[in-house]
Structure 1
C-alpha cells in the first residue's frame, strides 16, 4: 500500500466531507441547501479552473470559503499517465449548508487581489527588461557571424535561400513557409562548402564535400521539418489567440512518431495538453492576462534569426549536428516547467510526476546541445535564456492568486462561471474596426511589411503604394488589386461613384500611401490593447477630450507612462535606412482619434514613435 502524505490525505478528504456533511431534507435544514460553483475557461478544451479560492457572501459577510477541486482531491496526478475519470469534478467549489437566499460569490477581497496583481505586474516588467538584455547580449555574440555573412557571403549558399540577414532570415519567424524548402538545401550545401576547407594537418586540404553532405543531409531535412512544427507553436504563443495556440498542437502531436528525444518530446507535449489540467491552468492564466509568453517566444526567435548560414555552416563543418530542433524543444520544455511551477494552492503535489518528466527531458536536451556545442554562442544562449524563462513560474503563481471574479445575488444551486480567454483578440478586432491601427502597427505585421513600408512606401493593408484609407475615401469602396488593377495605370479601370458616375482610377497623392522615418509595431496583441487602455485613462487623453477636440493625435504620452522604463522588447521597427529602430527612454506613444456622430472617440491608429 502506498503511504500518502498529509497533504494528499487532506485533499482527498475534502470532497468526501462535503458530500457527507448534513442531512439534506431534514427538518432542521429547511432554510439551507448545498451550493456550488463550477469554474471553466472558455478555451477549446473547456478546461476546469482548479484550486480557485471561492467565497460565499451574504451582504459582504463571508459565510464560507473554499477552493475549487483539483486532481489531487481525487488521488490523481497532473501526469501524462492515464488518470481516474475525475475531470467532471474538477473546477467545482462546493459547500453543503448555505442559505437558500441570493448570495454573492467572489475569489477574494479586492485589496488583497490588487496587491497580488501589482506584484505580478512588477514580475512582468522584470521579465521584459531581462528579455531586452538577452537580445542585446545575443546580438553581440552573433555579431561576427552577421558581419561576415553581410560582407562577402563566403558561404556560397543558393540565391533563393537568402540575400542578407535583414530580409531572408526574418522569414524563419515571419511565417513565409515556402522559405523552409530552400533552408534544407542551403544548409546541406553549407556543410559541403565548409568541408572543402577542412585541412589535413599532415599535408594537404582534403575534399570532404560528399562525406559531410551525406552525413548531415537526412538530419538537416528531418530537423527543418521539426523546426516548422516547433516554430508554429512559438508563433501560437506570440499570437495571443488561444485558438491558434491550441491548433499549433497538431504539428507537435505529429512528432510522436519520430525517433529518440524528438518523439519523446512530441508524446509528452501531446499528452500534457490532453491530460495536464494543472499545466493548462497555469498556461491559460498567464496567456489570457499577460503577453509574457509571446514576448519570450518573440525574443527567442529573434535571436535564432541571428544564426546566419555561415554560423550553421561552422556547426555542421565541425561535424556537429543540426541542433536547432533541440534548442527549441529545450526552450518549450523550460516554459512548460515554469507553468507547472505556477500550480494553484493545495494542488502542488499533483504535478510532481509530470514536472519530473519535463525536467528530465529538458536535461537530456541540454546535454545534447552542450555535448555538440563547440561554439560559445550556444553556451551563452542557454545560460542567458534559462533564468528568464524560470521567472514565468512566480509570475503564474501571482496571476492565479490574483484572479478576480465576482458574481452577485446568485440563486442557482450550481453556478457556472466562464472565464474568458479571448479578451485581447476580441478587443483588437474591435480596434481594427475603428481604424487601421492593428492592421499597420500590431504583431501580425511582418518584418518584411515594415521594411517595405519604410523603404518603398507600401501600405501593409494593400501590399502596394495605394493607401487603403485614402482609396476608400476617394472612391467609396475598399481597394482590391484584382478588381481595380495595380499602379501606376490600374489597367484603365473605372469605379462607379455615387453622384459622379464612372470615375477612372488614377495614381495621385490623393491615394498614395505615405510613411514616416520609421515603420513600427507592437509585438503582441496584448500590449496593443494595453496601450489603448493606458491611453484612454491617461491625463493627456482626458485633457484632449475636455478640450473639445473632434479628432487628431493625443500628444505627450510616453511608452514608459504605460509600460514602465523597460518597454523595448514590447515593440519593434525599422528606419528609412532599413536598420532596426532604436527606441530611447523618451519614445512616445502616438494615438490618433476621431469623434463620431454619437460623440464617441474612435481610435484611428496608434504606434510607437522614437
Structure 2
C-alpha cells in the first residue's frame, strides 16, 4: 500500500481509539512520582505516607496512594537486607499521568490537620503530666537512701563496692551529675564524698578485684570483668539522652550506633548491641516516628531528663546495698532497657496506613526489654529499681501513639512534578535548627547559651552563687537572684514563637519603648498560658538563699505559677510610623515573684 492508503485505513481506527481526527494512536501518558525523605544523614524515607495526586489542571489522578514501605516490597522492618531497599522506599508512583503539565502531590489528603495536631498536643501534655507524677513518686521512693547518704555517706558501705566500681562510678558521677542534677535538688556531691572515701582508704585501690564476683551473673557476666567497659557504655548512653534533649536526630543515631559495639560482649548486652545494629541498618519504619517526635516535641528529651534526675538520686550507698543483696551494679542494664523499650514503643504504631507493620524489630525489642526486666530479681533496694522501671515503662509506651499522630499531621505539597521521582525533604531536626538560628540572632544574644537545655545544673548554681556566666565561664558584676533553663530545645523555641504570635497583646510596653526610645525590652507571659500545667518537668533552676554578697545556698525553683520572660534588642525605625524591630536576645522561665 502507498502512504495515502495507509492513512485512509488508520484514520478510522485512530478516531475510535482516541476520538481525534488524524491521530492513529491513543493519548500519550507518562509515569510521575514523588519520593518523601527526611533530610537526615541516613536519608530516611517516609514510608506508608498517604498522598493525593492531581494533574497540572487540578484533576484528581489518585485520591490516596501510600508511599512504599518495607512490607510493600516483600520485606519487613529490620529483616536483614531491608536497608538495601532504602532508595526504593518512600516513593509514590503513578504510571498513567497525562502529558498536560506538572502534577501535584499532597500528604495526608482529607485529614483535618489542625485537629490532628491538637490531638498530638493533648497526648504530649498527658505524657508530660505522667512524667511529673513519676518524678514525685520516685523522689519519695528514693528519699530514704538520699537522706542516709547526706547523713552518713559511705558509712557501712561494702569495701567490695568501692573497690570494684566505686572509682569508675565516681568519675562518671562527677561528669554527669553536674549536667543532669537530681530530682532531690541540690544534693551533697556523691562523687566528692566517694573521692574523699577513696583517699582515706588508698588500700582499696590496690589489686582490682574481679568485678564479676559481685555483679549479677545473669546480667553482667558478659562485661568481661572490665569496669572501663561498663562506664564507657554509661557515657555513651548519657550522650544519646543529651541528643534527644537537643532534638538532634542525627546526633542521637550516631551516638546510638556507637552502642552497637556491645554486640561483641555476647549475652543480654550483646543482644542489645545486635538490636541497635539491625535497627539502624535495616530498620526504617520505626525511625519515622522517632524523627517526628525528636523534631517536633520535647517528650523523649524530657523522658531522658526525668529518668537521669531520678538516677542521680540512686546514691552510692544505694548501689552498695544492691551489692550487699547480691544483685550487683545494674545501672547500665536499666538504661539499656530504657532505650530498648523506646525502640519497642516506636515500633508498635509506626505507620499511618492500613498496611503498616512494625515487623520483627518491635517484637525483638519488646522481648529483649522483658528479658532484661525479668533478670533483675531481689528484695530491699531492688524493689526501688523495679518500681523505677515499671513506672517509666508506662510513660514510654505512650510515645508510639504520639509518633503516629505526628505523622498523621504531616502536611506539605510537592508541586511541579514532571518526572518519575521528584524528591521532597522534611526537616529532621526542626526545633534544633530554629534554636541554633536564635542563638545567632545578634552579637551578644545569650538565651540558648545561658538558659538552654545544655546548661548544666552546676552552671546554674554558680551563676547565682559565684556570679559566673554560664556561656563564657567568666565572673560578672551582677548575680541574679535565680538562674533557670529550659529542659528542651523544642520548648525554648515554642516560648519565642508563642510570644511573637501574640505581640498584639503588648501594645502598651511596645508603645512605651517607642516613646522612651528604649533599645531593650522584656515581654512576659504566664507559663500556664502555653503549657497549662506540670511546668516543673519542662524547666529547671535554682533560687539563691541569702544576698548576692553573702549567699548561703540555693533552693530549687517552683515554676507552677511562673512566667516566661523574653528579652529583645530594639531597633527604632527612622519613620515613626513604622513598627519597632525586635531582635531576639533571650527567653527564660521565671518563678512566681
Whether these two folds match at TM > 0.5 is yes
The corresponding residue for 2:85 is 86
Alignment of 1:508-527 (within 5 A): 512=477, 514-527=478-491
Seen in structure 2, the aligned counterparts of structure 1 residues 572 and 584 have a Cα distance that, compared at 3 Å, is closer
Question: Take 2:450 and 2:191, find their aligned partners in 1: how far apart are those partners?
Answer: 29
Question: Take 2:168 and 2:404, find their aligned partners in 1: how far apart are those partners?
Answer: 44
Which string of whole-angstrom CA distances, capped at 9 and with x for unpartnered residues, describes residues 441-479 of structure 1? 00111111111112111001221214xxxxxxxxxxxxx
User: What secondary structure, in the 3-state scheme, does the structure 2 residue paired with 1:576 have?
Assistant: strand
Question: Take 2:168 and 2:361, find their aligned partners in 1: how far apart are those partners?
Answer: 40
User: What secondary structure, in the 3-state scheme, does the structure 2 residue paired with 1:594 have?
Assistant: strand
How far off is 1:124 after superposition? 0.5
Tell me, yes or no, if the aligned pair for 1:104 and 1:409 is still in contact at 8 Å: yes
TM-score by length of 2: 0.79
How far off is 1:412 after superposition? 4.2
The corresponding residue for 1:534 is 498
Deviates more, 1:574-583 or 1:300-309: 574-583
Q: Does 2:246 correspond to 1:239?
A: yes
The corresponding residue for 1:561 is 529
User: What secondary structure, in the 3-state scheme, does the structure 1 residue paired with 2:42 have?
Assistant: coil
How far off is 1:326 after superposition? 1.1
The corresponding residue for 2:41 is 44
The corresponding residue for 1:106 is 106
Seen in structure 2, the aligned counterparts of structure 1 residues 280 and 265 have a Cα distance that, compared at 3 Å, is same
The corresponding residue for 2:366 is 359
User: What secondary structure, in the 3-state scheme, does the structure 2 residue paired with 1:248 have?
Assistant: helix
Which string of whole-angstrom CA distances, capped at 9 and with x for unpartnered residues, describes residues 47-100 of structure 1? 111011111235665431201000111110102523484322100011122233
The corresponding residue for 1:28 is 26
Question: Take 1:559 and 1:26, find their aligned partners in 2: how far apart are those partners?
Answer: 71
The corresponding residue for 1:10 is none
Question: Take 1:388 and 1:360, find their aligned partners in 2: how far apart are those partners?
Answer: 18
The corresponding residue for 2:76 is 77
Alignment of 1:196-595 (within 5 A): 215-216=213-214, 218=225, 220-346=227-353, 350-370=357-377, 374-434=381-441, 435-466=445-476, 512=477, 514-539=478-503, 542-543=506-507, 547=511, 549=513, 550-577=518-545, 578-595=553-570
User: What secondary structure, in the 3-state scheme, does the structure 1 residue paired with 2:586 have?
Assistant: strand
How far off is 1:519 after superposition? 0.6
Question: Take 2:148 and 2:562, find their aligned partners in 1: how far apart are those partners?
Answer: 32
Seen in structure 2, the aligned counterparts of structure 1 residues 34 and 526 have a Cα distance that, compared at 3 Å, is same
Tell me, yes or no, if the aligned pair for 1:80 and 1:272 is still in contact at 8 Å: no
Consecutive unaligned residues of structure 2, counting only runs of 5 or more, are: 1-22, 182-189, 216-224, 546-552, 574-579
How far off is 1:597 after superposition? 5.8
Which string of whole-angstrom CA distances, capped at 9 and with x for unpartnered residues, describes residues 490-549 of structure 1? xxxxxxxxxxxxxxxxxxxxxx2x232211000111111111111111256552686263
How far off is 1:589 after superposition? 0.3
Question: Take 2:430 and 2:421, find their aligned partners in 1: how far apart are those partners?
Answer: 25
Tell me, yes or no, if the aligned pair for 1:229 and 1:251 is still in contact at 8 Å: yes
Tell me, yes or no, if the aligned pair for 1:227 and 1:325 is still in contact at 8 Å: yes
The corresponding residue for 2:128 is 128
Seen in structure 2, the aligned counterparts of structure 1 residues 391 and 551 have a Cα distance that, compared at 3 Å, is farther
Seen in structure 2, the aligned counterparts of structure 1 residues 84 and 110 have a Cα distance that, compared at 3 Å, is closer
The corresponding residue for 2:15 is none
The corresponding residue for 1:138 is 138
Question: Take 2:314 and 2:525, find their aligned partners in 1: how far apart are those partners?
Answer: 36
How far off is 1:555 after superposition? 4.2
How far off is 1:247 after superposition? 2.2
Tell me, yes or no, if the aligned pair for 2:263 and 2:271 is still in contact at 8 Å: yes
Question: Take 1:287 and 1:320, find their aligned partners in 2: how far apart are those partners?
Answer: 35
The corresponding residue for 2:583 is 602
Seen in structure 2, the aligned counterparts of structure 1 residues 399 and 84 have a Cα distance that, compared at 3 Å, is closer
Deviates more, 1:246-255 or 1:438-447: 246-255
The corresponding residue for 1:8 is none
The corresponding residue for 2:550 is none
Deviates more, 1:555-564 or 1:540-549: 540-549
How far off is 1:572 after superposition? 0.5
Which string of whole-angstrom CA distances, capped at 9 and with x for unpartnered residues, describes residues 150-200 of structure 1? 12314477998999x9987724748xxxxxxx979959x89xx9xx9xxxx
The corresponding residue for 2:7 is none
Question: Take 2:485 and 2:90, find their aligned partners in 1: how far apart are those partners?
Answer: 38
User: How many pairs align?
Assistant: 516
Seen in structure 2, the aligned counterparts of structure 1 residues 355 and 371 have a Cα distance that, compared at 3 Å, is farther
Seen in structure 2, the aligned counterparts of structure 1 residues 184 and 609 have a Cα distance that, compared at 3 Å, is closer
How far off is 1:360 after superposition? 1.1
Which string of whole-angstrom CA distances, capped at 9 and with x for unpartnered residues, describes residues 363-410 of structure 1? 110012235875331122122111100000110110111111123444
The corresponding residue for 1:491 is none
How far off is 1:225 after superposition? 2.7
Deviates more, 1:101-110 or 1:72-81: 101-110
Question: Take 2:333 and 2:249, find their aligned partners in 1: how far apart are those partners?
Answer: 25
How far off is 1:130 after superposition? 0.7
How far off is 1:569 after superposition? 0.9
